[in-house]
Amino acid sequence: MISRRLFAALALTAVVTTACGTSDTEDAAVRSDGTVDLSQVTLRLGDQKGTGLQALLEAAGELKAVPYKIEWSQYTSGPPMLEAINAGAVDLGGVGNAPPVFAAAAKSSIKIVSGYGAGTAGQGIVVPKDSPLHAPTDLRGKKIAVAKGSSAHYHLLSVLNKNGLSFTDIEPQYLQPADALAALTTGRVDAWAIWDPYTAQAEQQAGARILVDGTGYVNPDSYYVAGTQALDSKSRTAALHDLLARIHRAHAWVNVHLDQWAQTYAQHSGLPIEVTTVVVKRSVYQDHPLDPAAIDAEQQVADAFSAAKLIPNKVRIADFVDTRFNDLYPAS
């Protein structure tokens, strides 16, 4: 269970960083006539191997002629990235469905600014190929590796709930992906709840098999999340609008150029092309606006964590959504 002390610390950080935000009147990139000089803007973007934002934009040619500067930072998973966004060190990053819930529970200074589906087959609870586990109910009493607050955390919770189990019926081992893979291959855990490309990596390189994927257990949505400091800045908000439009175009491009996307993804991630090819073929992007249906879907994720007492309080997701970029996406 996440400690209340941790949430209190994150909440305090949220208050402090909000107080230090940059106002429009202090925004040097805003001209006297109110327009924005994007050449004076720097966006600080978070990335992770599972989302491959930089690789995505590069593959689609969307990093050419960008009118603002970009600084990239790499993270092992969504939760530490959102901690950096909350602290004001990063402006935007892509995460799965659970990290915004944990950040919201900590009252972090973040907003969901766009959503997209990317399939559920890449969400997997994997086991060694010779494991005696063959059904979700076999997870009772087992040690299961999972990154705390990640999309895999929610997938695991959903699988347990729908099969008559709870978190008290397993021994969760909270590990980041690299440590979890090592734990699985050395037998220190019985299963690993994870997301692509790590699911594919476990299959291709460690001979693991998927005990159960996300189909029927989770919705396919992931999100781009921005810090309120960035959203309070007129210049950075203008740059974020341009960036999200580039991401939207990149999603459409990679959906029909899978081979090129797999090659670029492999080059950026260091993963073998065999792994990235599996990933891209089961990750078709479908962008959509943050409409009531999308917000309700994420609310269900928050309610599940609250009911399981994995977060200390209920969360109202609508309070952590910014819909001003909905004009970029077709109605669902």
Each residue's pLDDT tens digit in the chain (332 positions)? 444 444 444 444 443 333 344 444 458 888 888 899 999 999 999 999 767 899 999 999 999 999 999 999 999 999 999 999 999 999 999 999 999 999 999 999 999 999 999 989 999 999 999 999 999 999 999 999 999 999 999 999 999 999 999 999 999 999 999 999 999 999 999 999 999 999 999 999 899 999 999 999 999 999 999 999 999 999 999 999 999 999 999 999 999 999 999 999 999 999 999 999 999 999 999 999 999 999 999 999 999 999 999 999 999 999 999 999 999 997 75
Same domain, 154 and 186: yes
Q: What are the beta bridge partners of residue 144?
A: 172, 191
Cβ partners under 8 Å of residue 60, min gap 6: 246, 249, 250, 253, 254, 257, 261
Same domain, 246 and 107: yes
CB 17 within 8 A of CB 86: yes
284 three-state secondary structure: coil
With CA atoms as reference, report the closest residue to 327 among 285, 282, 287, 267. 287
CB 226 within 8 A of CB 91: yes
pTM, full prediction = 0.89
Same domain, 114 and 240: yes
CA dist 266 and 254 (Å) reads 14
CB 193 within 8 A of CB 145: yes
Range of the domain at 104: 4-118+220-328
Cβ partners under 8 Å of residue 147, min gap 6: 76, 77, 79, 153, 174, 175, 176, 177, 180, 194
Same domain, 108 and 225: yes
Q: How many separate domains does the chain show?
A: 2
Compute CA distances 80 → 103, 114, 217, 289, whole Å: 10, 19, 25, 26
Q: Tell how strand 110-117 and strand 191-194 pair up.
A: unpaired
End residue of a domain, out of 187, 213, 239 = 213
Cβ partners under 8 Å of residue 111, min gap 6: 225, 226, 227, 228, 231, 320, 321, 322
End residue of a domain, out of 213, 244, 279 = 213
Q: Where are the beta strands (DSSP E) in 25-109?
A: 42-48, 69-75, 92-95
- 136: CATH: 3.40.190.10
CA dist 251 and 301 (Å) reads 24
Place of tokens 């189909």: 215
Q: What number of CA atoms fall less than 13 Å from residue 37's CA on the CB side?
A: 9
> Does the CA dihedral 141-147-231-106 come out positive or negative?
positive
Same domain, 104 and 44: yes
Same domain, 231 and 205: no
Same domain, 166 and 308: no
End residue of a domain, out of 213, 247, 267 = 213
Torsion of CA 64, 66, 71, 75, to 10 degrees: -60
Same domain, 111 and 14: yes
Residue 274, token pair as written in the block: 């065999």
Same domain, 105 and 133: no
Same domain, 282 and 200: no
CA dist 278 and 281 (Å) reads 5
Same domain, 129 and 101: no
Same domain, 225 and 254: yes
With CA atoms as reference, report the closest residue to 44 among 72, 74, 6, 86. 72
